[in-house]
Amino acid sequence: MDFAFIVVLVVLLALVFDFTNGFHDTANAMATPIATGAMKPKVAVTVAAILNLVGAFLSTEVAKTVSGGIIREGEGGVQITPEVIFAGLIGAITWNLITWLRGLPSSSSHALFGGLIGAALVGIGTQSIDFAVVMSKVILPALLAPVIAGVVAFTATKIAYAITRRSVGPNERGGFRTGQIFTSSLVALAHGTNDAQKTMGVITLVLISGGFQTVGTGPQFWVIAVCAFAIAFGTYMGGWRIIRTMGSGLTEVKPAQGFAAESSTASTILASSHLGFALSTTQVASGSVIGSGLGRRGSSVRWNMVGKIMIGWLLTLPAAAAVGGVAALIASIGPTGVIIDAFLGAGVIIFIYVWSRRHRVGAGNAIEIDQAGKAVRGRKATAKARKAKQNA
């Protein structure tokens, strides 16, 4: 099999992963404003897609961490092959689709890292992984970021309810519903600066491994552009199963909570992007929603769902690594192995898609999307009608 063809195949598969990352993580920015009625579902995903696209052009620090940090490459390192990267991507995509089918907001980032690490361990050996970088820029941020975001969201929610008063309707307080439009947009922008870069890093890694790019260099402009459009398109497609979980499965979200959670999520992601930490935006967003739920008096957090999500977090790295490792083992056969991997991967994608059609979840049934807003508007309309009748 022609070497350049393998590189092209890996680039295309990386863009497929980028697409799944987009619809898998739409909920991070838009679940809470949809749940509170701050934004219409289709408007929300459109805004998120545009801002993901813009955000992808703003930074490349995370891409450099992926392409030149976790997997050693070049002279004095390990010559990782495109076949190994191909196998790692199969592991990442498979886990992304499984968790999407279950509506679990797991980490696309950790699925990617797990798939690459598992494939590299099987295909090359332990010397291919820089475990110090994995610990400092993947594991530690995964442990700390959700906690930090949750504490910030908890504090912000407490402050929001302390300094504002409820106005007309149970969901109207201090203009937070309107403010959510801006905070959720900031989360979408921040998501683009962090998650799109991970695919840029993978494509850069395969270009370096194929000798098409110099070791130590960052992503080329065309790589940035295609990754930006791929994640934006995926974001526009929605990911309604996970939006349902994030918007109503963890806690009942009110506008002040949503505002606090989104502000916390955006600030944490932007800081990590600047530092080159390849953290999970999903974990940060989930931690923020949980923190905001704890911060509102009378609110309850659905801990059974939290437990399921946390189990998903724990399984993501090893599960994706296991699939990536099996795919790498098959790929080691040679060109035939790569073809087998390609057919198996396509089969998994088709099977999960067909299975998902049995119980379709879309913009109309993901959550009670506009009911809160409609209830408020309904009460306002009723009050106006009653007043007009009295004055007649």
Given a cut of 60, whether residue 372 has pLDDT beyond it is no
How far is Cα 29 from Cα 108, in angstroms, rounded to an integer?
A: 15
Answer positive or negative: Cα dihedral of 108, 114, 117, 122.
Answer: negative
Q: What rounded mean pLDDT belongs to the chain?
A: 80
Q: Give domain limits for the chain.
A: 3-382
pLDDT band at 168 (very low <50, low <70, confident <90, very high): very low
Residue 369 is predicted with a pLDDT of 46
SS3 274: helix
**Residue pair 98/262 in contact by the 8 Å Cβ criterion:** no
Residue 378 pLDDT class (50, 70, 90 cuts)? very low
What is the phi/psi pair of residue 71, to 5°? -100, 125
Q: DSSP string spanning 87-123?
A: HHHHHHHHHHHHHHHHT----HHHHHHHHHHHHHHHH
What's the confidence (pLDDT) of residue 352?
92
Residue 359, pLDDT > 80, answer yes
* Contact between 110 and 320 (Cβ < 8 Å): yes
Rounded CA separation 360/77 (Å) = 47
- Give the pLDDT confidence score for residue 265 in this predicted structure: 86
Handedness of CA 122, 124, 127, 132 (dihedral sign): negative
Q: Categorize the per-residue pLDDT at 74 as very low, low, confident or very high, splitting at 50, 70 and 90.
A: low
Q: Does the pLDDT of residue 171 top 60, yes or no?
A: no
Decide if 256 contacts 160 (C-beta within 8 A).
yes
pLDDT in tens, 32-53: 888 888 888 889 899 999 998 9
> Mean per-residue pLDDT for 165-177?
58
Q: Does residue 22 or residue 198 have the better pLDDT?
A: 22
C-alpha gyration radius of the chain: 22
pLDDT tens, residue by residue, 79-138 = 678 888 899 999 999 999 999 988 888 888 889 889 989 998 998 888 878 788 788 777
pLDDT at 217: 75
If one compares 359 and 272, the residue with the highest pLDDT of the two is: 359
* pLDDT attached to residue 66: 62
Residues 86, 142: Cα–Cα separation, whole Å: 25
In the prediction, which pLDDT does 324 show? 94
Quick one: pLDDT at residue 130?
78
Q: How far apart are CA 262 and CA 284, in angstroms?
A: 10
Q: Return d(Cα 101, Cα 263) in angstroms, integer.
A: 28
> What's the pLDDT tens digit per position in 190-211?
888 777 778 888 888 788 877 7
Query: Do the Cβ atoms of 40 and 243 come closer than 8 Å?
Result: no
Residue 370 predicted with pLDDT over 50? no
Please calculate the CA angle 97-262-270 and round it to the nearest 5 degrees. 80
Q: Regarding predicted confidence, which is higher, 54 or 79?
A: 54
What does the block give as tokens for 25?
Answer: 């993580």
Residue 166 confidence (pLDDT): 56
- Within 10 Å of residue 147's Cβ, how many Cβ atoms? 13
Name the more confident of 379 and 347: 347
169 vs 173: CA distance, rounded Å: 9
pLDDT (0 to 100) of residue 23? 84
Of 282 and 100, the structure prediction assigns the larger pLDDT to 100
Distance of alpha carbon 231 from the chain centroid: 10
DSSP codes of every residue in 172-211: -BTTHHHHHHHHHHHHHHHHHHHHHHHHHHHHHHHHHHTT
- Say yes or no to pLDDT of 385 above 50: no
The predicted-structure confidence for 173-189, as pLDDT tens digits, reads as follows 557 888 888 888 888 88
pLDDT score, position 296: 81
Q: What digits encode the pLDDT tens for the residues 222-261?
A: 998 999 999 999 988 878 888 888 877 777 778 888 888 8
Task: Kindly report which listed range (108-112, 222-226, 338-342, 373-377) carries the lowest average pLDDT score.
Answer: 373-377
Token pair recorded at residue 182: 């801006």
The SS3 of residue 253 is coil
- Identify the three-state secondary structure at position 225: helix
Bin 109: left if φ > 0, else alpha if -120 < ψ < 50, else beta.
alpha
- For residue 308, pLDDT over 50 is answered with yes
